[in-house]
Amino acid sequence: MTVSPHFEFRDGVLHAEDTPLSHLANQFGTPLYVYSRQALHDAWEAYRIATRGRDVLVCFGMKANSNLAVLNEFRKLGSGFDIVSGGELARVLAVGGDPSKIVFSGVGKQVWEMQAALKAGVKCFNIESEAELARLSDVAQQSGAIARISMRVNPDVDAQTHPYISTGLKENKFGIAIETAVAVYQHAATLPNIEIVGVDCHIGSQITEISPYLDALDKLIVLIKILADKGIELKHLDLGGGIGIRYTDETLLSPTVLLDKVFQALDAHGLSHLQLVLEPGRSLVGNSGVLLTTVEYLKHGDVKNFAIVDAAMNDLIRPTLYDAWHSVEAVVPRKNAACARVYDIVGPICESGDWLARDRSLRLEQGDVLAIMSAGAYAFTMASQYNTRPRAAEIMVDGSNAHVVRPRETLESLFATETTLE
C-alpha cells in the first residue's frame, strides 16, 4: 500500500502519475526528488472546497517546499504565501506572486527583510515580540511607509505533536503571550506608521486532532472581543498551518472538518465579517513528493542488515531529526522471497544518525531503486551539502511528462565562490 493516490504501483512498477519512477531514476540519476503536479492541485482543491465560498485566504507555508515550480503552481491556483525570510520573499516575487497575499512570519525579522517586505507591499507582518514591533515601527517610519501588522499570539495550547514542531506553548520561542497581547495591541495602536489588521497564531505542525485548534480559536476569539471593546477592530484572523499528512496510518484532520468548526465558532460570536487566513505547508505538498534513491551496497550483519543508499541525512533530515517515519517502497519490487530481509536504510554520511528508515522488511538487491514516500514537505527545503554532497535534482511530473525544475548541483558549484588564502 502506498500513502498517496498519485504514487501507485502499475504493472509492478511504482509510478508518479503516468510516469514510471524507474524511468526517472534511469534518466536523471538518484538521489532525485519527484513531485506530482496533480497532487499539488488536489491538495489545493481540498482547501478550496473547505472554504465554502467564504472569505478565506490560503497562504502556502512555503518553508515546506520553496521550489519555484511548486510556488508557481500555487500562485496560479490563487494562493497567497506565508514567508519567513527575505529569501522566501524573493522567491515569491520571482514567480510573480501577489504581495498583497503575503504574510510575513518569523521571530527574527531583520531590518533589510522588513525594508524589502515594505517595499513589496506585503499584506501584513505577523509580529512575534514587542521588540520586533518597535523595530518595524522605526523601519516603516524611515521608509515613509505604513506597516500592516497582526500579532502572532502564543495561545499556550498543546498541539499534541513532536516537541520540535510544537510552537504554541509558553516554553516555545514563538509569538506574544496571550496575556500581554492586549497591552501590545494598545501600544501598537499609538504608533503612526503601524496599521493593525489582524491576529494570528500557529500552534505546531503535523497536527491530527481538531481540539488544539479549537482551544486556540476560543482564546483568540476572547482576545478579539476585548480588543473590539477597546476600539481596536481587526480585519482578519489567521489560524496558521499545521494540518498533518499521512506518513503511515495516521487518521487525518481534513480542512473541511476544521473550517466548518471555525466558521461555526466565528458565526456564533458575531465575527463572520473577519477574513480567515490559513498558512498550510505540509498538507499542501507533503504527499506530493517522493525521494528516489539507489541501493549502493547491502551489508548483512549479526545484529542489523543495512541497505546503504545514495541519499542521506543531508537530503532528508526528518528521520534523524524527529525520528520521523517515511514509508519506503522498492520502485520495482522483487518477487524473489530469498532476498527478503529487515533493513535499516542508511546513507553514506559519516554519522550514525545518517539513516532514512529503520527495520523495514524489503526484498533488495544492489542497484535497486527505492522511493522514500511523503517527501514533498520539509525535505528538499531542509537539505544541506554536508559531506560536500551536491543537493539532489527536483523533477515535476505532469501526467507522462517529467520536467527538471531544479537540476542537480554540480560539484564545482559547491565551492566555486570560495577563496583560498595565500
Ligand X SMILES: Cc1ncc(COP(=O)(O)O)c(C=O)c1O
Binding-site residue numbers for substrate are 282, 318, 322, 351, 378
Residue 318 as a binder of ligand LYS (CB under 6 A): the answer is: yes
Annotate 98-138 with three-state secondary structure.
CHHHEEECCCCCCHHHHHHHHHHCCCEEEECCHHHHHHHHH
Q: Among residues 69 and 103, whose Cβ is nearest to ligand X?
A: 103
Among 378, 380, 389, 396, binds ligand LYS (CB under 6 A): 378
CA-based nearest residue to 336, from 361, 369, 367, 363: 363
Contact characters 42-81, ligand LYS, x per CB under 6 A = ---------------------x------------------
Among 175, 242, 289, 319, binds ligand X (CB under 6 A): 242
The one-letter amino acid at 250? E
Cell 531544479 appears where?
Answer: 406
Q: In the bound complex, which residue of the shown chain has the CB atom lying closest to ligand LYS?
A: 378
Paired residues of 124 in beta bridges: 103
Paired residues of 403 in beta bridges: 396
Question: Any idea what DSSP says for residue 403?
Answer: E
Q: Pick what 283 binds: ligand X, ligand LYS, none; C-beta below 5 to 8 Å, kind-dependent.
A: ligand X
Interacting span for ligand X (CB under 6 A) from 70-78, 88-96, 276-284, 304-312:
276-284
CA-based nearest residue to 103, from 229, 337, 255, 281: 281
We find the least distance from the C-beta atom of residue 120 to ligand X, in angstroms, to be 18
Residue 36 as a binder of ligand X (CB under 6 A): the answer is: no
We find the least distance from the C-beta atom of residue 203 to ligand LYS, in angstroms, to be 10
CA-based nearest residue to 246, from 339, 327, 163: 327
Q: Among residues 30 and 105, whose Cβ is nearest to ligand LYS?
A: 105
Burial of 132 (0-12, 13-18, 19+ CB in 10 A): buried
- Cα–Cα distance for residue pair 196/190, rounded to 1 Å: 10
- Cα–Cα distance for residue pair 295/282, rounded to 1 Å: 28
We find the least distance from the C-beta atom of residue 169 to ligand LYS, in angstroms, to be 13
| Distance from the first to the final alpha carbon of the chain | 58
Q: Pick what 97 binds: ligand LYS, ligand X, none; C-beta below 5 to 8 Å, kind-dependent.
A: none
Residue 376 as a binder of ligand X (CB under 6 A): the answer is: no
Contact characters 259-278, ligand LYS, x per CB under 6 A = --------------------
Cell 482551544 appears where?
Answer: 215
We find the least distance from the C-beta atom of residue 401 to ligand LYS, in angstroms, to be 29
SS3 41: helix
The one-letter amino acid at 75? R
Contact characters 326-365, ligand LYS, x per CB under 6 A = ----------------------------------------
Q: Among residues 69 and 285, whose Cβ is nearest to ligand X?
A: 285
Query: Is 350 among the catalytic positions?
Result: yes
Q: Among residues 8 and 323, whose Cβ is nearest to ligand LYS?
A: 323
Among 73, 82, 88, 113, binds ligand X (CB under 6 A): 82
- Cα–Cα distance for residue pair 370/359, rounded to 1 Å: 15
Interacting span for ligand X (CB under 6 A) from 17-25, 238-246, 301-309, 359-367:
238-246
Paired residues of 277 in beta bridges: 57, 238
- Cα–Cα distance for residue pair 223/226, rounded to 1 Å: 5
SS3 264: helix
The one-letter amino acid at 10? R
Catalytic residue among 59, 124, 339, 350: 350
Residue 205 as a binder of ligand LYS (CB under 6 A): the answer is: yes
Q: Among residues 58 and 393, whose Cβ is nearest to ligand X?
A: 58
Q: Pick what 368 binds: ligand X, ligand LYS, none; C-beta below 5 to 8 Å, kind-dependent.
A: none
- Cα–Cα distance for residue pair 272/234, rounded to 1 Å: 12
Residue 165 as a binder of ligand LYS (CB under 6 A): the answer is: yes
The answer to whether 232 and 186 have CB atoms below 8 angstroms apart is yes
We find the least distance from the C-beta atom of residue 279 to ligand LYS, in angstroms, to be 10
Q: Among residues 212 and 281, whose Cβ is nearest to ligand X?
A: 281
Annotate 350-367 with three-state secondary structure.
CCCCCEEEEEEEEECCCC
The answer to whether 290 and 70 have CB atoms below 8 angstroms apart is no
User: Active-site residues: which are they?
Assistant: 350
Which residues make up the interface to ligand LYS (CB under 6 A)?
63, 165, 205-206, 318, 322, 378
